[in-house]
Chains A and B, each alone.
Chain A
Amino acid sequence: MDSDLVLLSYCGKIDFETHESLIDQAKNLPELNDVDLIIKKRLIYIIIEGLENIYKHSDNHQKPNQHNYEDNFILRSTPEGYVISIGNLIGSRKAKQLKQKIEYINTLNPESLKKHYNEIITNGLISEKNGAGLGIVRIALKSSNKINYSIAEIDSDTYYFKMWVDLPKSLKHE
């Protein structure tokens, strides 16, 4: 019976070293040995961008008794493909920006998404957090799917952001 399988998961502070370790582990998963190269690389790209999103943008708003709100990463295999999900705490300003950004990206068709990505590459600036604002765009491009997300309020200035994307196991007609 086909069912979901957790291939890799992590709960706790995700810093750069953790991000590197998880990428290494993902690359070496035996379950990915026979996966088409393009799919495997897209999966790794989504993981790279997703984890980077956490270590660059997670807000450390941890307060006492908030151990349930740690950084979180799960890679699952399903009969249809893979699900990559991440979660982290963010402040209210970021929550609003992320919501707007994801909702905008989800309105774009593949051609417009690529155009948006290319425009940022050619004209965009690298922010103080060393981001180009491209990570989520790239996740959408690589998954060829909408980005699912939730933003749950913990208190007036703290939210828990969760994002998950589906990556099909087979290539669509592209």
Chain B
Amino acid sequence: MINALLIDRTRSSPKIYFDPASNVFEIIGESRPENVRLFYEPIVRWLDDYSHEITAAVMRGQQPIKSFNIDIKLGYFNSSSAKFIFDMLHKIHQFYDLGIDVKANWYYEDGDEDMKQAGFDLSEMLDFPFIYIATPAK
């Protein structure tokens, strides 16, 4: 099985923790890395590799995972990050085609209607229903 992906959080980039073994997938923090491509391309590549692994298993008649839940908890994300976040979620959504029940949990601070709306917008663009979860206001 593919190794987990762990990128520690910094003040300008989110924690990324994708662990197939425990079925935990989460993006937590703020996203405005100095080099957005350098930050996100390895993550997108990891998702491609994971997708290939699952596809190969499905073609062998196996069902390595039945469900995939990703938690997205972003405080701020800049416009360059928005593009990569869209690309990541697009790849994740494609797991549906492999017979996997895919869920995205979009967290937002209670009162932050803009962040909630950002989730709605991404969901609509991807045709990928999200679950919206309000967290207590800080």
* Minimum C-beta distance from A125 to chain B (A): 8
Contacting residues of chain A (34-51) with chain B, CB-CB under 8 angstroms: 37-38, 41-42, 44-45, 48-49
Interface 1/0 per residue, A15-44 and B, CB below 8 Å? 010001001100000000000011001101
**B109 nearest in chain A by CB position:** A37
**A131 nearest in chain B by CB position:** B80
The answer to whether B11 touches A24, judged by C-beta atoms less than 8 angstroms apart, is yes
The answer to whether A126 touches B37, judged by C-beta atoms less than 8 angstroms apart, is yes
Q: Does A130 contact B (CB under 8 A)?
A: yes
The answer to whether A124 touches B83, judged by C-beta atoms less than 8 angstroms apart, is yes
The answer to whether B125 touches A122, judged by C-beta atoms less than 8 angstroms apart, is yes
Q: Does B96 contact A (CB under 8 A)?
A: no
For the complex, give the distance between the alpha carbons of A135 and B32 in Å.
Answer: 12
Q: Which residues of B are found within 8 Å of A120, using beta-carbon distances?
A: 83
Interface 1/0 per residue, A106-128 and B, CB below 8 Å? 00000000100010111010100
Q: Which residues of A are found within 8 Å of B32, using beta-carbon distances?
A: 23, 48, 52
Q: Enumerate chain B interface residues (CB-CB to A < 8 A).
A: 11-12, 32, 34-37, 76, 78-80, 82-84, 86, 109, 111-115, 121, 125, 137
Q: Enumerate chain A interface residues (CB-CB to B < 8 A).
A: 16, 20, 23-24, 37-38, 41-42, 44-45, 48-49, 52, 114, 118, 120-122, 124, 126, 130-132, 134-135, 137-138, 142
Q: List 30 A-B contacts (CB under 8 A).
A: A16-B34, A20-B11, A23-B32, A24-B11, A37-B112, A38-B111, A38-B114, A41-B112, A41-B114, A44-B76, A48-B76, A49-B79, A52-B32, A52-B78, A52-B80, A124-B83, A126-B80, A126-B83, A130-B35, A130-B80, A131-B80, A132-B79, A132-B82, A132-B83, A134-B80, A134-B82, A137-B79, A138-B78, A138-B79, A142-B114
